[in-house]
Amino acid sequence: MIYKKTTVGHLNDKDIIAYNISYDNGFEVEILNLGGIITKIITPDKDNNLENIVVGYKNINGYIENPSYMGAIIGRTSGRIYNGKISIDNKEYRLSKNYGINQGHGGNVGFNKKIYDVNYIKNEDEFKLILSCKSKDLEENYPGNLDVEVTFEISRNFKIKQIYKATSDKKTLVNMTNHSYFNLSGNLKNPVTNQYMQINSDFILELDATSVPTGNYIDVNNTPFDFRKLKSIGRDIDKSHNQINIGCGYDHPFILNKGKIHLEDKISKRAMDIKTNQECVVVYSMNFTDDLVLYNNKTNQRRFGICFETQAPPIGQNMCFLEKSILEKDSEYTQITEYKFYIIE
């Protein structure tokens, strides 16, 4: 294993540092202390070509701006919160509204914008990168001083386990995730619409016109959202369906049964499995892009990445699902998501 740390920029008088971990089998991961952003996951294809399988920007300025949340830790909460309003023990909190009438991904300055403190534990076949930060009481108007720790366990056998932990001195909300965009073609050669996905999910959450849950469930049977069997992402992504129209593609919470989320590319033969202890995964098919340049001087294009935001259901109309993000005072929030990368026959 080779471990490197490199100063790649500066923000608010703090260094932005890239932590790079690589193994002799070609597996390489790079993470910034800015937002815990994953900038590289390099894996071999069927011919042992080593390529990046996450979408990323050309330079550090892209990650500082990062309007698409590329690769970042999301918090305190993930997804939208209807009307930027929550109530905890009959006390109302008005959150910042950065997604139209709603709050999205923790507000104007969410966990994606923080410079984390970093520690690590290095073993021969596993490297643990431990990021920590404090979120002060009423930051983005959330109650409670929150202590946050996110551990990336990067194993030689092509695995990444993300462990999120948080404790608060007041009852609050926590619902964290990661916002990496995956593309198994390698180095952004092809859109993800040509890749195949399988999700063990019988229901999605219905969204309103502002993309927050209504509180209703939709059976995926006979809809574009049925991925219980392996299916190309592009097959039904533009079909006429009111939920597809709302998101301009997939941008929906899938309620998970037991099992894994699977993605594969039949050209490169790369595949990945995701396992999580969370109730749902918001699948986002990169239906909108920013105008920043990607690595390899690629133009940012729609549907060249796909996000798997493992989390609790987002908070919708009438504060539906709010209780699923509640963290009691002095209790511990734990979210675990594991990624496994491999080659298919």
CB 18 within 8 A of CB 36: no
Question: Do 167 and 159 form a contact (C-beta atoms < 8 A)?
Answer: no
pLDDT, tens digit, for every residue of 14-43? 999 999 999 999 999 999 999 999 999 999
Give the whole-angstrom CA distance, residue 302 versus residue 202. Answer: 27
> How many beta carbons lie within 10 A of that of residue 329, not counting itself?
12
Q: What pLDDT is attached to residue 189?
A: 97
d(CA 18, CA 36): 10
Residue 258: pLDDT over 90: no
Please, how many CA atoms are within 13 Å of residue 321, restricted to the half-sphere of its CB?
A: 28
- Annotated catalytic residue 309: yes
The tens digit of pLDDT for each residue in 77-129 reads 999 999 999 999 999 999 999 999 999 999 999 999 999 999 999 998 999 99
Which sequence spans correspond to the domains of the chain? 2-343
Is 252 annotated in the active site? no
pLDDT digits (tens, 9 = 90+) for 161-201: 999 999 999 999 999 999 999 999 999 999 999 999 999 99
Burial 96-131 (b: 16+ CB within 10 A, else e): ebbbeebbbbbbeebbbbbbbebebeeeeebbbbbb
Whether the link from the prior residue into 94 is cis, omega within 30° of 0, is no
Contact 118, 128 (CB under 8 A): no
What is the sign of the dihedral through the CA atoms of 57, 127, 306 and 333? negative
- Straight-line distance from the first to the last Cα atom of the chain, in angstroms, rounded to the nearest whole number: 27
- pLDDT tens-digit series, residues 40-78: 999 999 999 999 999 999 999 999 999 999 999 999 999
Q: Can you give the pLDDT at residue 259?
A: 84
262-311 pLDDT tens trace: 999 999 999 999 999 999 999 999 999 999 999 999 989 999 999 999 99
Catalytic residue among 30, 105, 140, 179: 179
0.85 exceeded by pTM:
yes
Q: Which CATH number fits domain 2-343: 3.30.460.10, 2.40.50.100, 2.40.420.20, 2.70.98.10?
A: 2.70.98.10
Active-site option among 30, 264, 309, 338: 309
Query: How many Å apart are CA 247 and CA 67, to the nearest integer?
Result: 18
